[in-house]
């Protein structure tokens, strides 16, 4: 049996779903000869760590109580559990030091998987330190890999000990597929992809003639968008995913190198217009332009999709006209689609398609990444 000590950073929707997946998959993991021993969980304000990280763990009952607490919007500091687990509660100021201590203790002996399911850039400092301590890093958080090139180089300096599939396509095998292509010596010369479930849904719906304002409100009601839909409509999330892919291909660029098309003008930004005003008034002003672009594309036998394009020195995200019968043109709903063109896949691209959004799918991708590093941990 291999035991993988785990510390989770981030107790939002993905982090909580990951803990649920870990608990519900115990019997399966036992058959695989693996046990995930959760020794610590952190939110944005505090951390909970077992008293003895060498031998103890946060048991399943404790983890489920913790998830319930966080789903109610409470801080870990308020946790009062009926579980008999001995643990420490640390405030933010002490958490970083404790995480480094745990990494130093476990990293070079039994190993440690540090899992970042937050949406914060504040985890970068910790992660840069633990990679030199023999730890493995698993990320759903895109910000560490889209920080400076210096930060990026540090995080990927031990490639066997890093997994970040869920930073780009949730549970889809995007990073793994690209790594296999590149390690074979094949050269990737073009990537085109719809990598936002929200924008994929929006563009396919406006293509059916529905007004953008109506579609965005529907997407919000379905839970596809962030609380402020402009976080999706800005294209920044897609740009971060494009940057991760471009860097994987060897492009040494930063976010400001990417041309990003926002679906709304700066005068409708969050520093100017409230979410309510944007939904009630701002969106209506965007309907005409989008509908005209949809009509123009239709006359050309094409459809509009919000995509990332990586080709040569070009790296941009925005609306593109694409053939209706292409994989991206056939895209419906919130699926993600990625087309990879390389020496081996020159005429017919490698197409990766499937659910690319949702806490459940993303958490499943993170869990698969954790299990993928099990060979780096010793048998018990």
Nearest Cα to Cα of residue 45 among 91, 3, 104: 91
**In this structure, what DSSP letter does residue 103 have?**
H
- In the sheet that 136-139 helps form, which strands lie side by side, from edge to edge? 87-91, 46-50, 34-42, 2-9, 113-116, 136-139, 162-163
Among this protein's residues, is 241 annotated catalytic? yes
Residue 240 token pair: 């971060």
Q: What is the CA radius of gyration of the chain?
A: 22
Contact 46, 39 (CB under 8 A): no
Distance (Å, rounded) from C-alpha 161 to C-alpha 258? 28
Residues making up the annotated binding site for L-homoserine are 226
Alpha helices in the chain (DSSP H): 13-24, 26-32, 60-71, 92-107, 124-130, 149-155, 174-183, 197-206, 212-221, 230-233, 236-248, 275-277, 287-299, 359-372
Long-range contacts of 212-220 (CB under 8 A, 24+ apart): 212/263, 212/283, 212/286, 212/287, 212/290, 212/291, 213/283, 213/284, 213/286, 213/287, 216/279, 216/283, 217/279, 217/283, 220/279
Q: Give me the catalytic one of 241, 259, 288, 380.
A: 241
Which SS3 state, helix, strand or coil, does residue 253 take? Answer: coil
Residues making up the annotated binding site for NADP(+) are 10-15
Burial (Cβ within 10 Å: 0-12, 13-18, ≥19) of residue 283? buried
Residues making up the annotated binding site are 10-15, 142, 226
Distance (Å, rounded) from C-alpha 19 to C-alpha 359? 12
Nearest Cα to Cα of residue 358 among 13, 9, 8: 13
Residues making up the annotated binding site for NADPH are 142
Q: Name the residues annotated as catalytic.
A: 241
């Amino acid at each position: 049996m291999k035991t993988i000590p785990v510390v989770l950073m981030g107790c939002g929707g993905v982090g909580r779903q990951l803990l649920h997946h870990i608990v519900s998959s115990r019997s399966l993991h036992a058959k695989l000869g693996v046990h995930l021993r959760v020794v610590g969980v952190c939110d944005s304000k505090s951390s909970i760590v077992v008293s003895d990280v060498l031998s103890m763990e946060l048991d399943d009952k404790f983890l489920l109580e913790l998830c319930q607490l966080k789903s109610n919007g409470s801080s870990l500091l308020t946790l009062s559990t009926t579980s008999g687990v001995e643990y420490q509660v640390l405030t933010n100021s002490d958490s970083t030091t404790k995480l480094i201590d745990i990494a130093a203790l476990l990293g070079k002996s039994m190993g440690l998987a540090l899992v970042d399911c937050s949406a914060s850039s504040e985890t970068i400092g910790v992660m840069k330190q633990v990679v030199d301590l023999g730890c493995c890093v698993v990320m759903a958080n895109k910000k560490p890999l889209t920080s400076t090139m210096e930060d990026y180089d540090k995080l990927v300096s031990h490639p066997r000990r890093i997994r970040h599939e869920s930073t780009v396509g949730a549970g889809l095998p995007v990073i793994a597929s690209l790594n296999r292509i590149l390690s074979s010596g094949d050269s990737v010369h073009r990537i085109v992809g719809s990598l936002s479930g929200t924008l994929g849904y929006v563009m396919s719906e406006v293509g059916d003639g529905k007004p953008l304002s109506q579609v965005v409100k529907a997407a919000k009601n379905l839970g596809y968008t962030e609380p402020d839909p402009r976080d999706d409509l800005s294209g920044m999330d897609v740009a971060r995913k494009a940057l991760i892919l471009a860097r994987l291909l060897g492009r040494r660029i930063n976010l400001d190198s990417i041309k990003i098309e926002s679906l709304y003008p700066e005068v409708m930004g969050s520093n100017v217009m409230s979410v309510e005003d944007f939904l009630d008034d701002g969106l209506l002003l965007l309907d005409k332009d989008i509908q005209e672009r949809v009509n123009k594309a239709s006359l050309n036998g094409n459809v509009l999709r919000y995509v990332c394009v990586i080709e040569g020195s070009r790296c941009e995200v925005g609306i593109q006209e694409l053939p209706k019968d292409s994989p991206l043109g056939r895209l419906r709903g919130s699926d993600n689609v990625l087309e990879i063109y390389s020496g081996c896949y020159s005429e017919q691209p490698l197409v990766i398609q499937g659910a690319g959004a949702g806490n459940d799918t993303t958490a499943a991708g993170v869990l698969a990444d954790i299990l993928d590093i099990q060979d780096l941990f010793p048998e018990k």
